[in-house]
Amino acid sequence: MNLKNKKILLIIGGGISAYKSLDLIRLLQRKGCSVKVILTKTGKNFVTSLSVSSLSKNRVFEDTFDEKKTGKMDHIYLSRWADAILVLPATANFMSKLSRGSADDLATTVILAADKETFLIPAMNVRMWEHKATRKNLNTLFGFGYKFIGPVDGEMACGEYGKGKMSSPRQVISYLEKFFKNRNFLKKKNIRAIITSGPTREYIDPVRFISNESSGKQGYEIALELSRLGIKTTLVSGPTNINYSKEIKVKKITTGKQMFGEIKKILPTDIVVCTAAVSDFKPIIKNKQKLKKKTNFDKIQLEKNPDILEYLGKNNKYKPKILVGFSAETENVIENSLEKMREKHCDIIVANDVSKKETGFNVDLNEVVIIDKNGDTQSIKKSSKKFIASILARKIINSFLDINKRLN
């Protein structure tokens, strides 16, 4: 009974699938939930306030300014009351409004005022779901931290078939139960993770160094996502321009050697995600004075930096339960990434084509292929790094839970 005593705020949107909200209310109450409902103006075209109030056994909220019945500011009251917010159906129009930060009715105002988990349950025609505008809004909403349940493939009310059909009420219940169960489990188990991010700087002299264009954004988003899922997360980061959230513990370093040292201090741990672009080589000697132009730079000797991913993968004493590597490639991306996964003994590898200017290093978008050691592959086309972090974090958690089940 993972949903027992949960307070659920259900927002009913304006789509034909809105009729399924009545079944969802009934199922939520069977699970021991308390349910309050916001019925949107368009939602009233599909279900009645009387039906909703009869099933929820609570007053139905409709208008932002209808506060005479409670004497409270409804958008504040409801956002504080709820343990979770569900939007069903989340139409293309509702997602568009939410992605822009609109607050022109009670539903959108409550979501903007809330600091609780918000789950969007989309329902729309397959072409609407695939439209570039919807994909853009989807990335934005993932970036805000909203969770999505569905949609699924199936026959829709319009008679067409494809992805866009709303998840059934039972599928929604199943997802919520799993979500809260996993979050509670992760918090109780005191699971720890290390995320490496950003570049390193290997100094030649006081003003020159070997580095790369990594911004650290992808690693930072992964650290945030894991932290919000209940993982005690430490981010070991090279020099970046990121204003780090207080939600995660951050260890700032400059060189690859320093990063390796910080990681050793924290080990052993349960999960390690190596997104940092550690410089492969460093000068054997750092010159104390700035080298002049007439210096023979051919004589600067280099040595390899420690390979952190390889150390963690091959060291049985410190190998985490889940080891994730990032493979930044410019050619033969999948082949090179698979080879790296085998050589470094990774559980998951994220293949990252950094040859494209619009994705990868020093930008907000990325395009990756996530591959696990069982051969399961998931391609993510050009998306926000927040979206990719959400998908990868879910993959990591599911892999961790599978291992835990086998051990028990």
Give the pLDDT confidence of 99-140 residue by residue, as tens digits.
999 999 999 999 999 988 999 999 999 999 999 999 889 988
Whole-model pTM: value is 0.76
146: which residues sit within 8 A by CB, 6+ positions away? 98, 118, 119, 120
Sheet containing 34-39, strands listed edge to edge, beginning at the edge strand earlier in sequence? 60-61, 34-39, 7-12, 84-90, 117-122, 147-148
Q: Which domain range does residue 139 map to? A: 7-184
Q: How confident is the model at residue 368 (pLDDT cuts 50, 70, 90)?
A: very high
Please tell me the distance from the alpha carbon of residue 136 to that of residue 152, in angstroms, as a whole number. Answer: 19
Residue 2 lies in a domain: no
204 within 8 A of 300, measured Cβ to Cβ: yes
Q: How many domains, in total, are found in the chain?
A: 2
Where a domain ends, among 184, 216, 249?
A: 184
Tens digit of each residue's pLDDT (9 = 90 or more) over 210-240: 999 999 999 999 999 999 888 999 999 999 9
Is 33 a residue of the active site?
no
* pLDDT at res. 407: 60
Q: What is the CATH number of the domain that holds 105?
A: 3.40.50.1950
In a domain, 1, yes or no: no
Same domain, 170 and 231: no
Q: What is the pLDDT of residue 68?
A: 53
**pLDDT at position 72:** 73
Residues 109 and 210 in one domain: no
Longest dimension (CA), the chain: 86
Containing H/E element for 221?
helix 217-228
Spot the catalytic one: 33, 158, 274, 346: 158
Amino acid in the structure at residue 316: N
Question: Quick check: is 228 in a domain?
Answer: yes
**pLDDT at site 67:** 54
Cα→Cα distances 247→116, 224, 230, 233, 275, Å: 15, 7, 11, 9, 19
CA nearest to 96, candidates 135, 150, 69: 135
> Looking at the structure, do residues 210 and 76 belong to the same domain, yes or no?
no
